[in-house]
Structure 1
Amino acid sequence: MSIQKIARLAGVSVATVSRVLNNSDTVKDKNREKVLQAIKESNYQPNLLARQLRTARSSMILVMVSDISNPFCAEVVKGIEEQAEKSGYRILLCNSGSDIERSRSSLQLLSGKIVDGIITMDAFSKLPELTRLIGKTPWVQCAEYANAGDVSCVGINDSDASQQMVRHLINRGRRKIALINHDLNYKYAQLRQQGYLRELERSQLSWQAIGYASELSFSAGKKNMLQLLAGEERPDAVFAVSDTLAAGAMAAIRDAGLRVPEDIAVAGFDGSGLAEMVSPPLTTIAQPSRDIGRTACELVVQRIENPEAVTERIIMDWHLIERAST
């Protein structure tokens, strides 16, 4: 179905159909209704390339995630996609792994004007290089932090959330609390470690142990937990910075013949569906993952449609969910 056939069905000019498709306010309401009805009846899908040539926009947003296999990242992307569709945009997904070469390859889409804006979930340490590559293209950093510059970002207060989780473990009588963290190139990893250390200091607990997972995976969580169990003193609680790492830690504890939470309590972070699937169910910090994605999309669309929009740093609510693992 072409735009010419839509015009014939509606009994209006091709120019009128074009103005309706481009949301022009110069179309009479009666004619707009005729065009919309003809589009609905014929199941017309606009030619995106033709629209791009007319408007100099692609209505596409590039979404660069650090690891799409991470349940938290997947939920954020769902939120981005839901909001994008509501706003008349589609997304292109790049699983960058925070690898700058893979990011550079994806960002070549900018030179061809294939995308109008970008949402990234890349590590804080990569932001200077990304800033150089992205230039003036509308850009929002999602679930990771931009402390300065002209980059809007959306996330939670990771330090406070981490501190509350450690306090929860202390209130349950735990005194040897270990942390399974991720790569400190990520700002959230720095902040969650900061909250962990701050609460230990506040509670005057000197014992600490920190492991660093190479990736946010079940196997990495299991490997780090085995290393903690091989230490001179066994922890009585473990706080992992993702639910996936926590699930791996629980498996390692069971393999060692120990019980959760009787011997070692385990807590996670993210509030993913995985936290309810493991046995025992996992105590975790629940992030509003889909809302983070939706908000990031709203911000980037604002920047696309109004390049002078102010930079925003939005901190969203989170909450601790207590379950049987602690």
Structure 2
Amino acid sequence: MSIQKIARLAGVSVATVSRVLNNQGTVKPQNRERVLSAIKESNYQPNLLARQLRTARSNMLLVMVSNISNPFCADVVKGIEAEAESNGYRILLCNSGSDVKRSQSSLQLLSGKMVDGVITMDAISALPQLSTLIADAPWVQCAEYDEDSSVSSVGIDDYQASRHVVGQFIAAGRRNVAMINHDLTYKYARQREQGYRDMLQEHQLDGFPVEYAAELSFNAGKTAMQNLLAQPVRPDAVFAISDTLAAGAIRAIDEAGLRIPQDIAVIGFDGTELGEMTSPQLSTIEQPSHQIGRQAVTLLLNKINDPAGPPERSRLAWRFVQRLSS
């Protein structure tokens, strides 16, 4: 099926079909709908190489995720993909594992003009190396950012969200509040820990030594909680910096014969569906994961269309979800 046949089927001009396919120019909503319906009906597949030669764009975006097994990252990618497709783009996904060498291999797609821009979710410690590799290509840093960077970014205020968690524990009369953190090379981990420490200090409460999970996994969360339970003083509340770690903590508490939240309250972070699967269901800070992904694409397309434009920084709203674990 050619573009000319699509035009005849939709009853519009070839130029109108071209504008719809390339997401360029102004098209009347009814004409756009007719073109899209004709494309769907005929199962039309545009010649991407021809389009790239014609427009100097590939209509492909590279998405580099540090850990795709993290439910939060997976949810963000879903938002990225949905917004990209609604704007006529496809995504290429790289599970970098925070490995700069693996990232370097994927980023060669930029120099080869195989992708038009990149969205990264790597630790902030990797940004200097990534900056060298990405250079002046359109780039958005997602859920992990540097306020002083020239790179556009989107995320939430992790510091204030963390303070809110500790405030919930304190308001409920908890005094021995522990924390399970992960990797401090990530800025979000440092901000959440700082919010935890500051809130305890302001209320003149002694914090536990922060327990650092070996990885962002259920088993690592369980092990971290077992270590906390082995302390001379048992915590009466635990703040885990991800729902995955919190789920592991809940299992450890249950296996120790303790009750949640009566003996130990637990609050997680991210707002993934995992929080509704635990027993009891998990209280958590809900990040707008899909919206973060969609906003990352919006910022990236702004940069693609206006390379000289200033960096944009979006901080989206989070919310606390109260469930039975706290």
Please report the TM-score for the alignment, with normalisation by the length of structure 1. Answer: 0.92
1:97 corresponds to which residue? Answer: 97
Counterpart CA distance in 2 for 1:257 and 1:206 is 25
Is this contact kept in 2: 1:177–1:209, CA < 8 A?
no
1:59 corresponds to which residue? Answer: 59
1:149 corresponds to which residue? Answer: 149
Q: Does 1:46 align with 2:46?
A: yes
Counterpart CA distance in 1 for 2:318 and 2:26 is 45
Is this contact kept in 2: 1:169–1:237, CA < 8 A?
yes
Question: AA paired with 2:269?
Answer: F
Q: Does 1:257 align with 2:257?
A: yes
Decide whether aligned partners of structure 1 residues 5 and 145 sit closer, same or farther in structure 2, where only a CA change above 3 A counts: same
Decide whether aligned partners of structure 1 residues 93 and 236 sit closer, same or farther in structure 2, where only a CA change above 3 A counts: same
Is this contact kept in 1: 2:65–2:97, CA < 8 A?
yes
Question: AA paired with 1:209?
Answer: P
Which deviates more, 93-102 or 3-12?
3-12
Shift of 1:247: 0.3
Which deviates more, 99-108 or 156-165?
99-108
Shift of 1:15: 7.5
Shift of 1:241: 0.2
Counterpart CA distance in 2 for 1:169 and 1:143 is 25
Is this contact kept in 2: 1:146–1:152, CA < 8 A?
no
- Report 1:163-242 matches (<5 A): 163-242=163-242
- Report 1:235-314 matches (<5 A): 235-314=235-314
RMSD: 2.6
2:117 corresponds to which residue? Answer: 117
Please report the TM-score for the alignment, with normalisation by the length of structure 2. Answer: 0.92
Is this contact kept in 2: 1:221–1:246, CA < 8 A?
yes
Shift of 1:170: 1.1
Decide whether aligned partners of structure 1 residues 288 and 226 sit closer, same or farther in structure 2, where only a CA change above 3 A counts: same
Counterpart CA distance in 1 for 2:27 and 2:183 is 54
Instruction: Report percent identity of matched pairs.
Output: 66
Decide whether aligned partners of structure 1 residues 10 and 154 sit closer, same or farther in structure 2, where only a CA change above 3 A counts: closer
Q: Which runs of 5+ in 1 are unaligned?
A: none
Shift of 1:25: 5.1
Decide whether aligned partners of structure 1 residues 150 and 256 sit closer, same or farther in structure 2, where only a CA change above 3 A counts: same
Q: Which runs of 5+ in 2 are unaligned?
A: none
Shift of 1:38: 5.6
Decide whether aligned partners of structure 1 residues 35 and 100 sit closer, same or farther in structure 2, where only a CA change above 3 A counts: closer
Shift of 1:309: 2.3
1:325 corresponds to which residue? Answer: 325
Question: AA paired with 2:222?
Answer: K
